[in-house]
Structures are given as C-alpha cells and as structure tokens.
A and B are shown apart, each in its own frame.
Chain A
Amino acid sequence: MAKIEIRNLRKEFGAFTAVRESSFTIEDGEFFMLLGPSGCGKTTTLRMIAGLELPTSGEILLDGEEISQRPPSQRDIAFVFQMFALYPHMNVRKNISYPLVSQGMPKAQVRAKVDEVAGILGIRDILDRPVGGLSGGDRQRVALGRAIVREPKAFMMDEPLGALDAEFREHMAEELRALHDRMGATTVYVTHDQLEAMQMGDKIVVMNNAVVEQFGTPQDIYDWPATMFVADFIGSPSMNFLRFDGKLAPGATHVGLNGHDMRVPELREGAEGKLVFGVRPEHITLTDAGDYRAEVLAAEYLGTTQIVTLATPNGEVKARIGAAQKVAAGETVGLAFRPDTVTVFDEASGRALRSAKNEGVLAHG
C-alpha cells in the first residue's frame, strides 16, 4: 500500500513538452483518476510513475522514497495497458504467473496464488485457454489478474476500459471499483471520459495541454472548477459562461450582467476587464417574473428533466429544469441563478477568482 507524491514532474520529448511541472498527491488506498482530453500527457505521466519513461525533471515519491530514476522492476508498481498486452504465446495461467515467476517464487506457491486470484476475478475456468480467443472482458480480467497477483504497492491503469464496447464498459467499471474497494490498493486510473472519472474516482486530476489544471474530489471539482477549461470539460452539458466587462474589488458580492445586478459568493480577489460569470445548468431557474430576460431557442426532453437552450444578452446558456415545466421555443422568460453556486472567471487567464465559497477547494488545487 502506498502514498504517491508527484512534485514538479516534467517530461520533454526532444523539443516537445508532454508534461509540464505537475504536482499532486495520491493518498494511500485512493482510486485516483487522471482525466483530460487526448494528447494532454496522461499516459506519459502514468508511464513516468511506473518507470516506463524517465522524467526530464521533478520527483516521484513512493511512500516518501524518491523513485523517479529507478527501473520499473524496482518500483513494485503494476501497470494495466489499454490493449491489455497479454503475452500472446502463453495461456491464461502462464500470463498471470509471469510476474511471480520473475520473482523466483516456488512453483506450488505460484499455482496456489494464481488460483486464488482467478477465483477473485471469476476466471478459474479459462486458466488453461490460450489468450488469443478470449473475449474483451476476459482479456481485461486476465490483465487485472496479472497486475494483482503480485500484490504491488500501487496499480497504474491506462484507459483499461477503452477497448471494451460501451455496454460492457459500465459493467467492468463497477467490477473494477468493487475489486478496488475490496483490496484497498492505491490505484491511478487514466481516462478521457469525465463521466467515468466522476463515477469511479475518489480524487481526480484534470490535465490539459501538458498542465495539471486542478486536483481534488469529483464533487469539489464539479462545484468549484479552478479554470474555465475544467468547468467546460466536466459536466454534461457543461458550465454556462456569461461574458461581461467589469471591475471587481475584493469583497464584492455582486456583478453587473448587462445592467442587472447578480449576486455571487463574496470575492476574495479583485479583477478587471473581460470576465465570465459561470453557472451550472441545474442552477438556473426559469421564472415569468425575473428582470434578466432570455429567449427560448430549443428544449430537449430527457425524461425527468429537460435541457433548455436560451439566448441571453451575455451569450447562449443551457438550463436543466424539471420536465413538467412548459416552455416553448420563441417565448421570452426571466432567468434566476443560484447565487451561492456561481464562479467568476478572468477570461484572459481562464482562472477562477477566489471567493468565500471556493477558496478552500482552490487552496490545494
């Protein structure tokens, strides 16, 4: 079991920087998600932790020990590859035994251990089959078996569900999470699917363009995004951005949107120029009375809720409201925003302004 600390980790491939000064901490036993769009450096980060890639600079601490320059065999970290990478010339049992054999464990003990792991994963009956003909799910289980059989300090998983079809993914995700809860081993899991990250993770690191944008619990990241990128990347539909010009002093509790005063959590820093009023779709209500008017463009019915697209003076927004409320395209309605959920961003830097509500979250992000 292990705590992993990443400090100012950086990786360059020639002139190209794949990971830029990243820092975050993975606590012992956490199911930790590395989330971000394609090419942002998730795999590279994971490979550096496992030792498949050496960092250009920075530190990786495993239980307080600096390991960033050690070969993978001396880190005691297991890795589950996206394409599973099962040894094609060996059967299932041999594949799972392989890490134990390399440690020189006696044969009888290897056998017992493999049987135990196969039992946990429910793959006892396929132990003697070649890996070639296995279904995606079974390959996944064998790959997991190979990882857990040696009881490593931590698991690295690079989009382990990416090769499975959508229907099966969900099932496998549950299985994986259940397995983790049972073993309690520190797990770092790479995904570009924000829903998967929100559902499975204890903590999430959001990366973009080689940079760590934010790190925290799914709830904190969802409620209090540190940057406009995170606000946009997480949630579906994503956070609404209402753009406005203004000058805000520290301690401000209102912003002016097109002449209307809107309450926001008390700001802890000032800003000036192009600003953004960020609000999640479920925190918008449609009223007949409100002063801040918008025109309904479309409504998308989703069963219990509906997503209403509206044109406001500050740009288009999407609101998630109850399915029962009647709205018609072309109609003009008043909008109200739940004041204690709003985040104000500085558009130029993309950063969230610190407020009474989010300063706790941003302090460690």
Chain B
Amino acid sequence: MSSFSVTETSARAKWISGTLVILYALITMIPLVWIMLTGFKSPADSISYPPKVVFEPTLEGYVNLFTTRTRQTQEYLEANPPQNWADEIVRQYDMVIVGPSKFGQRFMNSVIIGFGSTFLSIFLGTLAAYAFSRFRIPLADDLLFFILSTRMMPPIAVAIPIFLMFRNLGLSDTHLGMILLYTAVNISLAVWLLKGFIDEIPREYEEAALIDGYTRFQAFYKVVLPQAATGIASTAIFCLIFAWNEYAFAVLLTSATAQTAPPFIPTIIGIGGLDWPAVAAGATIFLLPVMVFTILLRKHLLRGITFGAVRK
C-alpha cells in the first residue's frame, strides 16, 4: 500500500505547488513592477534599449504628473532661483512650475465615484439580499432572475441609450450620474453574492435577538450585519474594483468635472510629448487605493471567494 492520502498533502506536493504559485505570481507581477519602476525613471531611461533594470531613480515622473510647467528665458531663470526640490528637477529643462495638473482632481473623482458607488451598492444590496433571504416575497425567484439578467450582456452594449438618457437628465459629467451608473451595474452582483452569505447565517440568531427584545431592524444590524461582515467585505472589493477600473463609460459620459482617472491617464501622453514616467507614475498612484483596500480586507476576501465551499 502506498501512503497516499486525500486530505494530507505530502511535502513534495507542497513544494511543487508552492513553486508554481510563486512562478505564477512573478509572471503576473512583472508588468506591474515594470510600471512602478518606470515611474521613477528619467524620460531617457524609460525608452532606452535594451531596457534598463538598474538606473538612477528620479521623481521627475511624479513631478510632471502633478504639475503643469512652462519654458522660460535664461534671464527669468537666473532672476528666480529654484524654490524647492521639484523646481530643481524641472530646471534641467529650463522650465518652471506654474501650477498643479488636473491629475489630483481626477484622482479625487475616482475616489468619490468608486467608493460612493461601492457604498451605495453594498447598502442597497445588503438590504435587498436580507429581504430575499428571510421573507416570503411573491415571485422572489423571478425577481432574482431579473436582477441577474441585467448582467447577461456587457453593460457597454447599452452605452448609447444611457448616453442619451444621461444627457436628457442632466447627469452627463456629474459625480451623481457616475455613482448611479456604477451602482446599477454592481447591484446585481451585490444582491446575489450577499444573498448567498446571508442564507448561510442561521435564522436562529435573529430570532434569538427578537426574543431578547430587539426589533427586526435592530436584530438585523446588531446580529446579522456582524455575521455578514466577511461577505460584505468581499462583495465591496468586487464592486470597488469594477467601478475603479471602468473605462468605457467614463470616456463616454465624463469629460471634465466628473472625469475619473482611467480616461485621464492616457491624455498625459499628449501634454508634453511621450512622457512615459509620468504615465507610469499616474498608473502607480491609481493602483494604490484598490491595493490597500484589498490588502486590508484580504482575510475576508479569501473566505469570501471560497464561500459555499466551506461550511462553518
């Protein structure tokens, strides 16, 4: 008899799977790392061939990302010595900083719209999922199917009607419009995922709370919500990632006031020639919030993705 066991992995199997995971992680991380590195290169280094892995780091990309600059005459430059390190960097090109770029504002738009729509999706999704899970609702199955069916084609397929609708409602290029749009897309995912999580929470917990003297709503937020935290966290990550990365609708429906970072970053290229380090710096900063959010909720996410497979 061999000592093969279904439940216990052998040391060799662990070693092999470990190596594979690390390899896969390396491969997927190369583009990411490359972008992050490019953000700290000088424009010359960023396009040198063969590509430079070792280089002298500079914050030029970041300065260019956050500022607008203009070329000045020698007399002006001599009369006005550099005020700070950022000034020093742009002086190499006989330029001075004249003000902030639009990136900060576009980034804030992304934050407002991304987190706003995530919050709204989760808020509405949790209430709807709770109702579907706990109450006898007429035509519940049909309603749930209808909610899911909104995901059966790519959202962009309805871009034209939405564009016209937004124009007529005055929602074009507004934060509210984008929050509503992303919420509408995310809510079906939120309802379905959260219903799964709430179904797994035994009703007895709420009933115990009802008996203990709480109202239905108190029982919901004092007993069910803490139990559903895992599900809510992982659903929130999925919603945020969609809203954060969404490009097509953002291009179509926003141009200035409510423009998010994804359509803005590529336009950096056009501002002062091919400024790859500034683009890379923009991409890096853009990545950070989702990365931090995901890392913070990582424990929940892992449980969330495997939900249903593991019974408590």
Measured in the bound complex, the distance between the Cα atoms of B202 and A274 in whole Å is: 49
Measured in the bound complex, the distance between the Cα atoms of B204 and A249 in whole Å is: 54
For window 69-114 of chain A, which residues contact chain B by CB distance below 8 Å?
71-73, 77-79, 81, 83, 85, 87-89, 98-99, 102-103
Known contacts A81-B204, A87-B205; decide if A99 and B212 are in contact (CB<8 Å).
yes
Contact code string B193-234 (vs A, CB < 8 Å = 1, else 0)? 000000000101101111111110010000100110000000
Select B208's contact among A71, A77, A81, beta carbons within 8 Å: A81
Taking a contact as CB atoms under 8 Å apart, the answer to whether B227 and A71 are in contact is no
Measured in the bound complex, the distance between the Cα atoms of B113 and A330 in whole Å is: 89
Taking a contact as CB atoms under 8 Å apart, the answer to whether B211 and A50 are in contact is yes
Taking a contact as CB atoms under 8 Å apart, the answer to whether B212 and A98 are in contact is yes
Chain A residues in 8 Å Cβ range of B207: 52, 72, 79, 81, 85
Number of interface residues of B (CB under 8 A): 16
Give the distance to chain A from B204, nearest Cβ to Cβ, in Å: 4
Chain B residues in 8 Å Cβ range of A51: 210-211
Measured in the bound complex, the distance between the Cα atoms of B205 and A347 in whole Å is: 45
Taking a contact as CB atoms under 8 Å apart, the answer to whether B202 and A83 are in contact is yes
Give the distance to chain B from A33, nearest Cβ to Cβ, in Å: 21
Taking a contact as CB atoms under 8 Å apart, the answer to whether B210 and A72 are in contact is yes
Taking a contact as CB atoms under 8 Å apart, the answer to whether A87 and B223 are in contact is yes
Quick one: closest B residue to A74, CB to CB? B213
Give the distance to chain A from B176, nearest Cβ to Cβ, in Å: 35
Chain A residues in 8 Å Cβ range of B223: 87
Taking a contact as CB atoms under 8 Å apart, the answer to whether B214 and A73 are in contact is yes
Measured in the bound complex, the distance between the Cα atoms of B215 and A73 in whole Å is: 7
Chain B residues in 8 Å Cβ range of A85: 202, 204-205, 207-208
A146 at the interface (CB under 8 A from B): yes
Quick one: closest B residue to A90, CB to CB? B226
Quick one: closest B residue to A79, CB to CB? B211
Taking a contact as CB atoms under 8 Å apart, the answer to whether B211 and A87 are in contact is no
Chain B residues in 8 Å Cβ range of A72: 207, 210-211
Measured in the bound complex, the distance between the Cα atoms of B218 and A87 in whole Å is: 14
Measured in the bound complex, the distance between the Cα atoms of B214 and A98 in whole Å is: 10
Task: Indicate the member of B207, B208, B211, B226 with the most A CB atoms within 10 Å.
Answer: B211
Chain A residues in 8 Å Cβ range of B211: 50-52, 72-73, 77-79, 99
For window 178-222 of chain A, which residues contact chain B by CB distance below 8 Å?
none
Chain B residues in 8 Å Cβ range of A89: 226-227
Chain A residues in 8 Å Cβ range of B208: 79, 81, 85, 87, 146
Measured in the bound complex, the distance between the Cα atoms of B212 and A78 in whole Å is: 7
Measured in the bound complex, the distance between the Cα atoms of B213 and A50 in whole Å is: 12
Measured in the bound complex, the distance between the Cα atoms of B218 and A73 in whole Å is: 12
Chain A residues in 8 Å Cβ range of B214: 73, 102
Taking a contact as CB atoms under 8 Å apart, the answer to whether A102 and B202 are in contact is no
Select A98's contact among B204, B209, B227, beta carbons within 8 Å: B209
Chain A residues in 8 Å Cβ range of B227: 88-89
Contact code string A145-160 (vs B, CB < 8 Å = 1, else 0)? 0100010000000000
Give the distance to chain B from A316, nearest Cβ to Cβ, in Å: 44
Measured in the bound complex, the distance between the Cα atoms of B226 and A77 in whole Å is: 25
Chain A residues in 8 Å Cβ range of B218: 102
Measured in the bound complex, the distance between the Cα atoms of B214 and A180 in whole Å is: 26
Quick one: closest B residue to A88, CB to CB? B227
Give the distance to chain B from A234, nearest Cβ to Cβ, in Å: 29
Taking a contact as CB atoms under 8 Å apart, the answer to whether B204 and A73 are in contact is no
Quick one: closest B residue to A147, CB to CB? B211
Chain A residues in 8 Å Cβ range of B213: 73, 99, 102-103, 150
Known: A89-B227, A98-B209. 8 other contacts (CB 8 A): A50-B211, A72-B211, A73-B211, A83-B202, A85-B205, A85-B208, A87-B208, A102-B214
User: Could you write out 5 A-B pairs with CB less than 8 Å apart?
Assistant: A71-B215, A79-B207, A85-B207, A98-B209, A103-B213
